[in-house]
A and B are shown apart, each in its own frame.
Chain A
Amino acid sequence: MFYREAGQFKTSYGADQAVFPIHQDRIFVALWLAIAFVLVPLVSSEYLLRAILIPLLILALAALGLNLLVGYCGQLSLGTGGFMAVGAYAAYNLCVRVPALNPFVAFLLAGGVATLVGIAFGMPSLRIKGYYLAVATLAAQFFLDWVFSRVAWFTNNTPSGSITAPPITLFQLSFDTPVRKYLLCLTILALFAMVAKNLVRGRIGRAWMATRDMDVAAEIIGIRPMYAKLSAFAVSSFFIGVAGGLWAFVHLGSWEPLAFDVNRSFSILFMVIIGGLGSILGSILGAAFITVLPLLLNQLPQWLGVSMSTAMISHLEAMIFGCLIVFFLIKEPLGLARLWRIGKEKLRLWPFPY
């Protein structure tokens, strides 16, 4: 009833090709943006901002990057943690060694460094596919772990190996309060999501999707596999590198190489899978699921008034979380984004069932 597009006529190609062609969609998105930018900072507690929303936004950006690679281009990658580390350490080194550099420029340049590293480790994709590529990117993850642990130059010769990010300031405005950090992450995520959406709808995105679906056929019709695959690695690594820089500077503040270990890679891959491969919204929903649900499970016994040892809560959290993932993937293997699309389809017919 509410979602019908009856009566909405497009009078130009531009209007027809818009990202949100349906009027209701635009209102819906504008509403969400208004809630996210205006309402949430006003009503949220510091804990909600610092511990739930900010990690959610940063990991959503990383999941978005990985979704471009795995979901749109079909190249399985387990090196996400390593590329985040590249972004983080590159941003740190740029800020520390070139003090006059604006932190935002440092983030973008760090993304650029991560792009170069991503392309380098994406080269095996030209020869191998599927699980074998996953192993090659896993090697990237471990190699990058090792490099940042052993080569003292990257940590500015700190004996302990744990480094602290310098504060982020822009024209005397310091991003140190939770609200400012939240708005910074939200702005970056919104911009990058817009860029990603436009990329996947354009020529490059179609090349990626063709490579994903049937790479031999894609090559035959003239899509050059090297450009398609390496551009996927490049763009994906850029997003992931910037996410890594944000994770280190905005969320952790002080980190050691263990913060970007293989578990981080796995958790971002799970976000992409649960959220929905090949969907921009899916990356964000998947990140919400994986970040927020464990915290919710952890605090649930306290809210229900059940007293349990923290070890028991921790183990239950792991078990229930695992069971939910299994159940969820059996019920809807295509992820949360598919659920959302089905929801939209049902909304078009509501209140009728078919």
Chain B
Amino acid sequence: MPRTFHAMSVLLAAVWASSIAATSEVLAQANEQFVPMLVYRSGPYAPNGVPFANGYADYLTLVNERDGGINGVKIVFEECETGYATDRGVECYERLKGKGSTGAAAFSPLSTGITYALTEKVFADKIPLITMGYGRSESVDGSVFLWNFPLLGTYWDAADVLIQHIGNLNGGLDKLKGKKIALVYHDSPYGKEPIPLLQERARRHGFELITIPVTHPGVEQKAAWLQIRQSRPDYVLLWGWGVMNSTAIKEAVAVNYPRERMYGVWWAGAEPDVLPAGAEAKGYNALALQHSAGQAPVHADILKYVYGKGKGAGQKEEVGLVLYNRGMINAMLLVESIRTAQGKFGKKPLTGEQVRWGIENLNLDQKRIGQLGLAGMLQPLKVSCSDHEGARHARIHQWDGTKWVFVSGWLEADSSVIRPMVEEAAAKYAKEKNLTRRDCKVG
């Protein structure tokens, strides 16, 4: 017994000492930029988290191997497992935020819940959050949300594009009157985000919105789909993540709901979601956050410079899948922001504050997108103080049994509907938190 006791106390003392030491342990030499990665490679959301993380890591490795870093500054990145849990995400943030010679460049938590928790902390720590395609919808307003960047689109944009597309299918938004649209959503901040916009659109165009929550992690959906079977909506919007998506499609098969009338958000439209249902998933539609699966010149570079040298984070076969591409584009946006910031602050490792300036002044035109090897995947993007999104385009792609095929042209979210909602919500947040708003007209 005393031995166990002795061992225990030695263990606890070691924890203490090492924790004090570990935080000062720095891997960077002078000329390296530290990029933290919050990932989930385990748990119910891992099927979608893994390809995203691999795409992100591979792009950063590509920049190091092919270009020698960003203007000579090599990128050093470290992963931390969050398991999609908010408290672990907060712990990972605290662990990684001070690493590197200048601290973390930016965080991309890939979780709306963790984003909400970190939004409070980044004000004090001065590190930007890039929440590409998720996060708080009102954080588009940069005069209030100085540190949040929901690049490429938010959930209000996603819901808006879906309604527009459904309207197009029916010959106009006014033809939606009397129709029933059901929203099957993950019962978390992520799933609840689109509801205000859908309610606004329902009010404007006269369709009935049925909201059906599904408890985390989303494996129990029999009751939800029974409800759908009884109410027979014209369209079902799926706002799921992780195993909830594949379970939803399998349940839709079970209740014989036509997959052609199902529309998933851009986080419910990837291979791990449709492959488990097999051939039955054919016809399922989803939003494409500008890009879909597929190969572009950048993928050839990744296969050559990253996998060719054995430094790939995942499997070669994964390169070019939907979520892999998304992780890759997320990393690209960070790299280009750092490059923009280096243009002003010098070709050296940058602090979070300087990277923030870089993201806010990010301007990717068609030419630059082509130079990066992403032609055809992205629209031009311009971020500004009042517009932390940069672009709000999307397309719809459909699973044909073996691959994703685009079934719509470029759609743009309607700012006339969304912007007033964004400004109202942002003003409410500023008032609650007693924040002084920046004036975006000044610098």
Within the complex, which residue of B121, B213, B216, B432 is in contact with A258, where a contact is CB–CB below 8 Å? B216
Residues of B within 8 A of A48 (CB): 16, 19-20, 23
Within the complex, which residue of A256, A261, A303, A311 is in contact with B46, where a contact is CB–CB below 8 Å? A311
* A17 CB-CB contact with B under 8 Å: no
Cα–Cα, bound, A342→B5 (Å): 9
A contact patch SS: helix
Cα–Cα, bound, A313→B1 (Å): 30
In the complex, chain A residues 328-346 whose Cβ is within 8 Å of any chain B Cβ:
331-332, 336, 339-340, 342-343, 346
Within the complex, which residue of A166, A299, A332, A340 is in contact with B22, where a contact is CB–CB below 8 Å? A299
Residues of B within 8 A of A339 (CB): 1, 4-5, 8
* A8 CB-CB contact with B under 8 Å: no
Within the complex, which residue of B81, B120, B192, B193 is in contact with A314, where a contact is CB–CB below 8 Å? B81
Cα–Cα, bound, A343→B6 (Å): 9
Contact A336 B95 (CB under 8 A): no
Residues of A within 8 A of B2 (CB): 342-343, 346
- Tell me the nearest residue of chain A to B90, going by C-beta: A252
Q: Mark B26-70, 1 if CB is under 8 A from A, else 0.
A: 000000000000010110001000100000000000000000000
* B298 CB-CB contact with A under 8 Å: no
Contact A298 B22 (CB under 8 A): no
Known: A310-B80, A314-B83. A161 touches B189 (CB 8 A): yes
Interface size class of A (residues with CB under 8 A): 35 or more
- Tell me the nearest residue of chain B to A253, going by C-beta: B120
B contact patch SS: helix
Q: Mark A223-258, 1 if CB is under 8 A from B, else 0.
A: 000000000000000000000000000011111101
Residues of B within 8 A of A159 (CB): 192-193, 195-196
Which of B22, B42, B193 has the most chain A CB atoms inside 10 A of its CB?
B42
Residues of B within 8 A of A164 (CB): 116, 119-120, 432-433
Contact A43 B20 (CB under 8 A): yes
Contact A332 B94 (CB under 8 A): no
Contact A254 B80 (CB under 8 A): no
* Total B residues in contact with A, Cβ cutoff 8 Å: 51
Contact A149 B187 (CB under 8 A): yes
Contact A161 B188 (CB under 8 A): yes
* B442 CB-CB contact with A under 8 Å: no
* B98 CB-CB contact with A under 8 Å: yes
Contact A47 B46 (CB under 8 A): no
In the complex, chain A residues 293-311 whose Cβ is within 8 Å of any chain B Cβ:
295-296, 298-299, 302-303, 309-311
Q: Mark B295-328, 1 if CB is under 8 A from A, else 0.
A: 0000000000000000000000000000000000
* B117 CB-CB contact with A under 8 Å: yes
Known: A253-B121, A311-B42, A331-B4. A259 touches B87 (CB 8 A): yes
Known: A46-B98, A252-B87. A310 touches B39 (CB 8 A): yes
Known: A47-B94, A252-B90, A314-B81. A258 touches B188 (CB 8 A): yes
Contact B119 A254 (CB under 8 A): yes
Residues of B within 8 A of A296 (CB): 11, 15, 18
Cα–Cα, bound, A252→B118 (Å): 9
* A44 CB-CB contact with B under 8 Å: yes
Residues of A within 8 A of B86 (CB): 252, 255-256, 258-259
Cα–Cα, bound, A283→B16 (Å): 19
Cα–Cα, bound, A162→B11 (Å): 37
Binds B, one of A19-27, A50-58, A131-139: A50-58
**Minimum C-beta distance from B84 to chain A (A):** 9
Residues of A within 8 A of B433 (CB): 164
Cα–Cα, bound, A340→B12 (Å): 14
Residues of B within 8 A of A149 (CB): 187, 213
Contact B22 A336 (CB under 8 A): no
* B206 CB-CB contact with A under 8 Å: no
Contact A47 B83 (CB under 8 A): no
* B260 CB-CB contact with A under 8 Å: no
Within the complex, which residue of B22, B81, B95, B188 is in contact with A310, where a contact is CB–CB below 8 Å? B81
Within the complex, which residue of B4, B23, B80 is in contact with A45, where a contact is CB–CB below 8 Å? B23
Within the complex, which residue of A161, A253, A259 is in contact with B192, where a contact is CB–CB below 8 Å? A161
Contact A162 B113 (CB under 8 A): yes
- Tell me the nearest residue of chain A to B79, going by C-beta: A310
**Minimum C-beta distance from A351 to chain B (A):** 12
* A116 CB-CB contact with B under 8 Å: no
* A210 CB-CB contact with B under 8 Å: no
* B227 CB-CB contact with A under 8 Å: no
Within the complex, which residue of B12, B83, B192, B195 is in contact with A292, where a contact is CB–CB below 8 Å? B12
Contact A44 B20 (CB under 8 A): yes
Cα–Cα, bound, A251→B196 (Å): 29
Residues of B within 8 A of A258 (CB): 86, 113, 188, 216
**Minimum C-beta distance from B178 to chain A (A):** 25
* A172 CB-CB contact with B under 8 Å: no
Residues of A within 8 A of B91 (CB): 51, 295
- Tell me the nearest residue of chain B to A328, going by C-beta: B4
**Minimum C-beta distance from A92 to chain B (A):** 12
Residues of A within 8 A of B170 (CB): none
Cα–Cα, bound, A161→B185 (Å): 13
- Tell me the nearest residue of chain B to A317, going by C-beta: B81
- Tell me the nearest residue of chain A to B16, going by C-beta: A48
Contact A252 B19 (CB under 8 A): no
Residues of B within 8 A of A302 (CB): 22
Contact B117 A52 (CB under 8 A): no
Cα–Cα, bound, A264→B279 (Å): 39
Q: What are 5 A-to-B residue pairs whose CB atoms are below 8 Å?
A: A160-B192, A252-B87, A256-B113, A259-B87, A343-B5
Residues on B facing A (Cβ under 8 Å): 1-2, 4-5, 8, 11-12, 15-16, 18-20, 22-24, 39, 41-42, 46, 50, 79-81, 83, 86-87, 90-91, 94-95, 98, 112-113, 116-117, 119-121, 124, 136, 187-189, 192-193, 195-196, 213, 216, 432-433
Q: Which 10 A-B pairs have the closest CB atoms?
A: A311-B41, A162-B189, A160-B189, A310-B81, A314-B42, A51-B94, A253-B120, A45-B23, A162-B116, A51-B91
Given contacts A51-B91, A331-B4, A336-B8, 11 further A-B contacts (CB under 8 A): A43-B20, A45-B24, A47-B23, A162-B116, A164-B116, A253-B120, A255-B86, A292-B12, A311-B50, A314-B42, A339-B4
